[in-house]
């Protein structure tokens, strides 16, 4: 059974999808053993507590830079004996001290079709604002491994939705969450926990 540590910064709907998937048996061979938040008082922490999952808060604002923050996260991940780290709406870019120690063991959900609308500065609603401003006709979400470059690690799963003429960033965000993120993130986590993702030449393939 693999220890899954979930990192959050906000409302935690993706965390909820993981909790529900664990309960209903969709996630095989893994359990969420800890939730770490970069902010105090976020609703994701309540979701964890409501489900008896231990929580830790490591506030980003208490650290001067990304390197010192990442060291604190690395220490916590090691203490928690994490086999898999899931970034579920985690809004901080982790330094390579974490990404190299947990190479191909950190999974992120990004709310666009990478390589579009991604990288530093593209997070949350900003991603959907950019997609609408560009006028794309489909968007979606990407589940990928995390490496030292923002949103550039090997892609595990992607799913699409249509963009409608009257969409607002909020409406598009919700459609992508409901139809793609909340389904594909638990699926990718389950595949990982069953050792069903292989890396060949830096790319991820489902066995
Ligand atoms: C989700 O849409 C997730 O894909 C996005 O933030 C939202 C978090 O929602 N993540 C990023 O933009 C990371 N670059 P949640 O807290 O309800 O899961």
The residue written with tokens 């898999």 in the block is: 84
Residue 135: pLDDT band (50, 70, 90) is: very high
Average pLDDT taken over every residue of the chain: 98
Nearest Cα residue to atom 10 of ligand 1: 89
Counting from 1 in the atom list of ligand 1, the atom nearest the Cα of 118 is 14
For residue 49, give its domain range.
Answer: 2-206
Mean pLDDT for 2-25 is: 98
Positive or negative torsion for Cα 178, 183, 114, 47: positive
Averaged pLDDT for residues 127-142:
98
Active site (catalytic) residues? 110
**pLDDT band at residue 178 under the 50/70/90 scheme:** very high
d(CA 120, CA 49): 31
Task: Give the pLDDT of residue 193.
Answer: 98
pLDDT of residue 14: 98
Rounded to a whole number, what is the largest CA-CA distance in the chain? 48
Q: What number does the ligand 1 atom closest to the CA of 89 have?
A: 8
**Rounded Cα–Cα distance for residues 26 and 67 (Å):** 35
Provide the pLDDT confidence category of residue 16 given band limits of 50, 70 and 90.
Answer: very high
Pocket of ligand 1 (CB under 6 A): 10-14, 44, 88-89, 109-111, 123-124, 127, 173, 177, 181
Q: How far is the CA of 111 from the centre of ligand 1 (A)?
A: 7
Residue 29: left (phi > 0), alpha (psi -120 to 50), or beta? Answer: left
Distance of alpha carbon 15 from alpha carbon 106, whole angstroms? 15
* 21-69 confidence digits (pLDDT tens): 999 999 999 999 999 999 999 999 999 999 999 999 999 999 999 999 9
CATH number of 68's domain: 3.40.50.170
Query: What's the pLDDT at 175?
Result: 98
Q: Which atom of ligand 1 is nearest to the CA of 17?
A: 18
- Looking at the structure of the chain, the number of domains it has is 1
Label residue 103 by pLDDT band (50, 70, 90): very high
- Give this prediction's pTM: 0.98
CA distance 31 to 55: 14
Instruction: Give percent of the chain above pLDDT 70.
Output: 100
Which residue minimizes the CA distance to atom 11 of ligand 1? Answer: 123
Measured CA distances, 7 to 2, 82, 108 (Å):
16, 11, 10
């Amino acid at each position: 059974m693999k220890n899954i540590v979930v990192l959050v910064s906000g409302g935690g709907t993706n965390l909820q999808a993981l909790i529900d998937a664990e309960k209903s048996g969709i996630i095989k061979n893994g359990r969420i053993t800890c939730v770490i938040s970069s902010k105090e008082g976020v609703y994701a922490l309540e979701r964890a507590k409501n489900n008896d999952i231990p929580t830790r808060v490591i506030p980003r604002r208490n650290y001067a830079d990304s390197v010192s923050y990442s060291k604190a996260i690395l220490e916590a991940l090691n203490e928690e004996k994490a086999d898999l780290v899931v970034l579920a709406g985690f809004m901080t870019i982790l330094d390579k001290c974490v990404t190299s120690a947990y190479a191909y063991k950190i999974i992120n959900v990004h709310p666009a079709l990478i390589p579009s609308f991604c990288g530093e500065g593209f997070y949350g609603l900003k991603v959907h604002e950019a997609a609408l401003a560009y006028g794309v006709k489909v968007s979606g979400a990407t589940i990928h491994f995390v490496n030292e470059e923002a949103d550039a690690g090997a892609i595990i799963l992607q799913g699409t939705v249509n963009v409608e003429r009257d969409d607002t960033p909020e409406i598009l965000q919700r459609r992508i969450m409901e139809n793609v993120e909340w389904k594909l993130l638990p699926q990718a986590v389950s595949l990982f926990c069953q050792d069903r993702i292989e890396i060949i030449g830096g790319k991820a393939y489902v066995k």
